[in-house]
Structure 1
Amino acid sequence: MTNGVKHIIAVSSGKGGVGKSTVTANLALAMAALGQRVGVLDADIYGPSQAQMFAVPETSKPRSDDGQTFDPLQAHGIQLMSMAFLVDQKTPMIWRGPMASGAFQQLLNQTRWDNLDYLFIDMPPGTGDIQLTMAQKVKVSGAVIVTTPQDIALLDAKRGIEMFRQVKIPVLGVVENMSLHTCSQCGHSEPIFGEGGGERIAQEYQTELLGQLPLSLHIRQQMDQGHPVVLSEPQGQVAAVFAAIAQQVRDKVENAPEEETVQISFGD
């Protein structure tokens, strides 16, 4: 078990642009609202975004007393660690896969997480080096797959589910983002990216559709400003969806048979 962390949840997607980071931030806050101690690790080494989503100032740096380990930053009661805290946010990470994987391990294991019940890992898109490193080195309690309803996103989400199954990490369920758009002027609702995709993929892989989130300009604006909707509109419909997803994740993890969270090692 990672020091200071009881359960690790990977939030993943097969492709970028589906709202995985938005789901991670709001799901973490919803879990904290259930009384849990929660952290977020931004494992997207090449394109970290959690610092902006939690409105962490660019000048904020993690404290290190020994030059080897770091204290996580705090925002909205969530413990945070990201590559964005260690380098200038405009600096590109022009690294090969092994370097990014090494950075991921350092961020995870050299952060002094303070007695977390849940650590949500905002994974980079795809099924590459960092995902494999996590499967080899980390005891993960489960994965949440984020997708949108269109076919190309579902195809990539299937690859993500297959990857987690091959490395014996339980798939807790699917979150379908951008499932429906409601016009703010006339109130007409339309499934711009198609409909039913999340439910179909959940049925195909014998998992659950944890929740469906709308395509909303307001949510995007709030996240860009560092005001996650779970905090900015706690009584709203979207916050209620995240609360239900968090409850399901907690129930699944707490009630999982012990053997479902056994670490798998493939060797180096």
Structure 2
Amino acid sequence: ILVLTYPLVGNYGIPAEELDANGLSKYFESNHKIWVSGLIVGEVCETPSHWRQKQTLHEWMVQHQIPGIAGIDTRALTKKIREDGTILGKIMQVENVELIGLEFEDQNKRNLVAEVSTKKVVTYNPKGSPRICAVDCGLKLNQIRCFLDRGARVDLVPWNHKLDPKDFDGLFLSNGPGDPIICKETVENIKKVVTAKEAKPIFGICLGHQLLASAIGCKTYKMKYGNRGHNLPCLHHSTKRCFMTSQNHGFAVNVQTLDKNWEPLF
């Protein structure tokens, strides 16, 4: 369940669900699917205004059968989350009712990556170069666009796809949900690339970075709050230069578990 603390949500509306020449959604980071289970806002805008707007937020969520609730003091709710850490919740229409089959379950025990990953190999720009193997752990479409804009071929593969360094020029490990320790198959596949005689560049974002760190023997841990925002300061270790970064993750790598052959970058 996603909680937004901004006072008014949905005032730009929702654009049309259109695909570009590569079969990627033009205006969304996922091909026309809402991944959250529910949305909580303080106030929802019923009269949005934007030249690309085709639907209201309410209409879009109804179309995708995602429940939402407005009129909530989301800042008070955020304070509770800040005190208790990430917590489980339900959106209910009435109080004190037993909902059979909707009991709380620990999300960190589910293989969320398997739920959101592609089920088959998909190739974009087949005549492009270099050839990038992108492991889909919950990938955002803009990551594919960035490769395609640079002329690369992208082979999008499932989270547990067997990796052969001979099949690509570079390996990309995407972001995704959940605890990296659940993705043991992915970690084992990455290990084979890391230890291969023919070294290939590997780049991981968010969960992908945590999986890469796990493949070299690091431990990960669950953060109490997570880093979530678009203006989080991040220090580059060697130069001490500070970068403002966009982050959205609830797990991190324990740098104390790095061996002598590795060092932190940020």
TM-score in terms of structure 1 length? 0.28
TM-score in terms of structure 2 length? 0.28
Greater helix content: 1
Greater strand content: 2
Structure with higher Rg: it is 2
